[in-house]
Chain A
Amino acid sequence: MSLISMEFLLFVIAAVTGYYLIPRRFQWVWLLAFSYIYYVSGGIRVTCFLLFTTVTTYFAGRWMEQASQSMQDKKEEKKRKKQILAGTLILNFGVLGVLKYTNFMLDTISSITGGEFEPLTLLLPLGISFYTFQSMGYLLDVYWGRSQAEHNLFRFALFVSFFPQILQGPIGRFGSLGRQLYASHSLDRKNIEGGFLRILWGYFKKMVIADNAVIFVNAIFDHPDLYDGLGIVGVLAYSIQLYCDFSGGMDVVLGIAKLFGIQLDENFKRPYFAVSITDFWHRWHITLGTWMKDYVFYPVSLSGWMKSFSKFAKKTFGKQTGRTLPICLANLIVFLVVGVWHGAAWKFIIYGLYNGLIIAFSGLMAPSYRKWKKALHISDDSRAFHLFQIFRTFVLVNISWYFDRAGDVKTALLMMKHTLTKFDLRQILEPGIDVGEASGTAYTMIALGVILGGCLLLFLVSVLQERGKDLTELFIRQNWMVKAFVYLCLILALPVFGQPSGEAGGFIYAQF
């Protein structure tokens, strides 16, 4: 059931209406029922994988709790919990790995050995990366004592399957999400009005901006030889498409959750205003970043072998560099995982390592940067320096988008070369070149105007939010005529300026 369909809209209306009509103690049961109806509508067979993760993680949590309560010997207890944790992690990440990466591994092996490769047809359950990460996060929290194990299997099943977020996140934490899912909620006008506004804003970003931008992106990236002068247009359009597609999807998801009175974690905070790549990852796909930080970066950095490396590095390179080097190595490992998470292809591995290397380099150079800035009298508060940092980061991010979107590494590098050597904006205006033909949607100047107009509106909203203005709160305070006008404008913009969803396709991150 696509998020952009009348079917889904009716499904949400039914879910929300019933949620507030039934006795409050059954609200979480109602959400669980709707979550499973939603997931099963995607296929019975894929639901088995969801059930597998739910059941194995639930029992692993309970066994760990029992080990803590029944075993007197702390060492034995730790050992037992570690075994349970390791077994469950291997099982669940094993399923994810086999389903997602088998073809990539076989392809790589056959290209090394020179053999023939026939891709296997494997099921890929919807949202498997998201619900697996969320569940394994819960288990690690129980292991470290940050969360209590959930005693009710059905309540836990809701935490894993909550329907608005299961397809593309945000990746929730049991501590905050679980508590909200199981609590009872009464109908709150602010939640309904704010949630509805956010849903419409999300659809606007997706259908009006992203789905118009995709026309240019597909034409240019899928035909790099034909549009070799438009590399810069392609990558800028992709940066718009990706942001509006993913963050628009998140707006819809967070808006729907808000209708139930549930506040999911924010996944985006105006990432293109970031002043460094580190800052970018604090603003882009935030819940994946914090998941990686808490469950990969810190554990890897504090592992025994990393401590040994740290001692060696301090002896060899001195205190400061020796202290930072192991952190840089752990950071590279994290971004390698981030790259692999994005897809089974070398271009994603390069995409991850590219980000990791920049952050590691910045970490190593931080003391030098501080000295240089002091010597040159550059203040972090300077407006000009701030704008320079934003521009520099935007350029670095766009370089990574070439790898993310291009068909393969070779094409990405060729397109980057053409961007610098063959820039020719006239290609977009020349009669006879139909930029949109490749995606099956005719390119018009209107599409270009819609993207620019949409981006201008998005920019203005983002600037206000960046300055700390709560626009939803401001909206709620308006009289009904203003609210009706805003709702109407957003609703009308979707069919008038948006591309039909069949042409542009679903959300990019729903494939993960």
Chain B
Amino acid sequence: MEQLLEILEDIQPDADYETCETLIDDGILDSFAILSIVSELQDEFGITITPADIIPENFNSAKALYAMVERLRAE
């Protein structure tokens, strides 16, 4: 989780990732930020993220992102 928070802070510093659960719904992460995060997650965790995974439910909070990473690592 810490590694994930570091990635998020590096890409988009102006957000409270510990508590925010509306990163997509409130437009905090735009499509550029989303793809930057995807690129980093793929490199760091060795996972493959497909267009089907890019849905608000997976990107609305750090917790949701972490759950997606864990799921894809297990696959």
Contact = CB atoms under 8 A, between A and B. Distances in A.
A324 B36 CA distance: 7
B51 A323 contact: no
Nearest to B27: A282
A278 B30 contact: yes
B28 to A, nearest CB: 12
Given A145-B52, A302-B50, A297 B31 contact: yes
Prevailing SS type, chain A contact patch = helix
Contacts of A166: none
Given A146-B55, A278-B30, A323 B13 contact: no
A305 to B, nearest CB: 14
Interface in B23-73: 27, 30-32, 35-36, 38-40, 42, 49-52, 54-55
B33 to A, nearest CB: 9
Contacts of A302: 35, 38, 49-51, 54
A293 interface: yes
B29 to A, nearest CB: 13
The 9 closest A-B pairs by CB, nearest first: A144-B52, A298-B51, A299-B51, A363-B32, A327-B35, A301-B35, A298-B54, A323-B39, A323-B36
Given A144-B52, A324-B36, A326-B39, 13 more contacts: A145-B52, A146-B52, A278-B32, A282-B27, A298-B31, A302-B51, A323-B39, A323-B40, A324-B32, A327-B32, A327-B35, A331-B32, A366-B32
Contact of B35 (A144, A282, A298): A298
Q: What size tier do the contact residues of chain A reach?
A: 20 to 34
Most buried by A among B30, B35, B54: B35
Contacts of B52: 144-146
Contacts of B31: 293, 297-298
Contacts, number: 43
Interface in A273-302: 278, 282, 293-294, 297-299, 301-302
Nearest to B38: A302
Given A323-B39, A324-B36, A370-B13, A294 B30 contact: no
16 contacts: A144-B50, A145-B52, A146-B52, A293-B31, A294-B54, A298-B35, A298-B54, A301-B35, A302-B38, A307-B42, A323-B36, A324-B36, A326-B39, A327-B32, A327-B36, A370-B13
A145 B53 CA distance: 10
Interface in A356-407: 363, 366, 370
Contacts of B51: 144, 294, 298-299, 302
A332 to B, nearest CB: 13
Nearest to A331: B32
Nearest to A313: B39
A310 interface: yes
Contacts of A298: 31, 35, 51, 54
Nearest to B52: A144
B45 to A, nearest CB: 15
Contacts of B42: 307
A208 B35 CA distance: 43
Nearest to A143: B52
A307 B43 CA distance: 10
Interface string B3-36: 0000000000100000000000001001110011
Nearest to A300: B51
A170 to B, nearest CB: 19
Contacts of A144: 50-52
A300 to B, nearest CB: 9
B52 to A, nearest CB: 4
Contacts of B54: 294, 298, 302
Nearest to A276: B30
B44 to A, nearest CB: 11
A294 B55 CA distance: 9
A307 B35 CA distance: 11
Contact of A310 (B27, B30, B32, B39): B39
Most buried by B among A299, A327, A370: A327
Interface in A476-499: none
A366 B29 CA distance: 13
A146 B56 CA distance: 12
A99 B35 CA distance: 34
Interface in A293-343: 293-294, 297-299, 301-302, 307, 310, 323-324, 326-327, 330-331
A282 B52 CA distance: 21
Contacts of A331: 32
Contacts of A145: 52
A297 B55 CA distance: 14
A145 B55 CA distance: 12
Contacts of B13: 370
A294 B52 CA distance: 9
A382 to B, nearest CB: 15
A27 to B, nearest CB: 30
A327 B35 CA distance: 7
A142 to B, nearest CB: 11
B27 to A, nearest CB: 8
Contacts of B36: 323-324, 327
A278 to B, nearest CB: 6
